[in-house]
Chain A
């Protein structure tokens, strides 16, 4: 227990130091500014989302109401900040046959006034990577709408193209929001 206490005290000291450094260091340059990314997992595979392509993140505490639809990826509808939002399974959109576990996390994309929610289960962390470290590919690992790869902590992740997904959903006609 003494080891845990000393470890905890060291962490408090580090947090205090980093907090002070955040005020002491200068702002980073725009050219060299890294791109913020979200690290997620879908059915055991590692993926990444560009935070510039999404408009929000939330826990799906609100109940997702299932609705009958011809689109199998549509899980249902939920409410966020007074707007009814359609919720799609990100794993099914990427071509996974089945989805284990219940989706807890929702990322909002598309227009801010009528967003589309993409649900997934495995939220890992936020990380930053230089734009030069993102390598564009036509198709990665045989999944749809994954057009780039990024290396994060020696782990290779497929970067999901949110605009392509939004375009696909709108093309299916299931993404029109209703007030």
Chain B
């Protein structure tokens, strides 16, 4: 949270804390001073007043005793008034003392003094009566010496004891007041020391905190300035390279300009060549058309050959049927010859000549049967050859068809070539026009690149200035860092 507070807020917190501590210390000092003043007031208003009243009591008692002695000696009534005045003073003083006596010992002494004074008053009145009568002086003196004077001495003694008691209380109060004052002084000193220590601690803590934060910020500034310096250096290098590159680009664009002009010239030449090629393609189309007609004639001849070969196959099949008939005739001839042989054998010698003829016929039939087998084999070979020829011819027909289609494809291709050559000529003209436009555009680009080169040089100068500023910022951050470090060392 301390990182989020601003320096002003932190300083305000520090001063507020110090002020609070000072106020606390002042409150404690006022409290201690009040305690001391109260103690002194008690001593002055109670103990000292009681001591004064005790002296007044002694005085009143002495004045009463003197008035008694005066009346006894002179018989003057003014001493009686003095007795009454002394006694009234005694009682006023006594009544004034009572509220200020708090201790039981003091109260008991007050009661004793009041009783002794009452006893003395009775004796004094007896003496007054004796003096007003005809009582001899000697008796009055004896009465005085035996009763009144001891009573008054006892009163004096008791009043003295009370005065001594009050003096002791006064001394005790003075001592307690001095101790309270000393304790208040010590408390104030301790609190002042605590406040000083807390103030020092707060000052050190704030100093450390602020030093740390400012140091971190200064460190960041230092690293940022270093990065800025590096970046500025890189930008300066890049700007120089960019300027160099722009120079190269300018050279390249000039070369591109020359190349564009060459392309335009080449496009013109290509347009001429395209026109010549289109004429050649048209001539090739006519040649291909003639070849296509020739192939169509070959296809007709091949179809005729196929029909002849199929006819030959059918004829061979018919020959095979005839051979089958011949074979069957030979077989039947053989059977007839065998039967003739049997008949000839049955005829004995008469049938021998017939048997010879029958045997020859049989042999002839056998040979005819064998020949028919050879003829059948020959016919099978002819049919196989015909089939092979038909298949080969069909293959040739297919090849001719493929050739015809190929010629059609070639014709179509030549037509397409012619069309494409027209399109190529148009494209070449467009290329020529585009190249001229490109040349114009390249010239404009050349001007723009020259401007960019100028801007690059200015950017290089600006980057150099930025590098100088970054260096100054780095130096400033180093100085600030050293200042904070020295303050931190001093605080430490």
Contact surface of A with B, Cβ cutoff 8 Å: 1, 4-5, 7-8, 11-12, 14-15, 18-19, 22, 27-28, 30, 33, 36, 38, 51-52, 54-59, 125-126, 128
Contact = CB atoms under 8 A, between A and B. Distances in A.
B341 interface: yes
Contacts of B339: 56-58
Interface stretch (B358-366, B400-408, B464-472): B358-366
Contacts of A11: 367, 370-371, 374
Nearest to A38: B338
A8 B378 contact: yes
A152 B392 CA distance: 49
Given A19-B364, A58-B335, A59-B335, A27 B352 contact: yes
A150 B393 CA distance: 57
Contact of A51 (B338, B367, B370, B374): B338
Consensus secondary structure, chain B interface: helix
A30 B352 contact: yes
B372 to A, nearest CB: 10
B81 interface: no
Contacts of B334: 126
B286 interface: no
B342 interface: yes
A166 to B, nearest CB: 15
A4 B352 contact: no
A51 B362 CA distance: 14
Interface residues of B, number: 31
B374 A55 contact: no
Contacts of A54: 342
A22 B367 contact: no
Given A27-B353, A59-B335, A5 B378 contact: yes
Nearest to A56: B339
- The residue among A5, A12, A36, A56 with the most chain B CB atoms within 10 A of its own CB is A36
B378 A126 contact: no
A117 to B, nearest CB: 14
A1 B335 contact: no
A19 to B, nearest CB: 7
Nearest to A28: B356
Given A36-B345, A126-B362, A4 B371 contact: no
A83 to B, nearest CB: 15
B342 A56 contact: yes
B346 interface: yes
Contacts of B363: 18
23 contacts: A1-B382, A4-B374, A7-B374, A11-B367, A11-B374, A19-B360, A19-B364, A27-B353, A27-B356, A28-B356, A36-B341, A36-B359, A38-B338, A51-B341, A51-B342, A54-B342, A55-B342, A55-B346, A57-B335, A57-B338, A57-B339, A126-B338, A128-B359
A28 B353 CA distance: 10
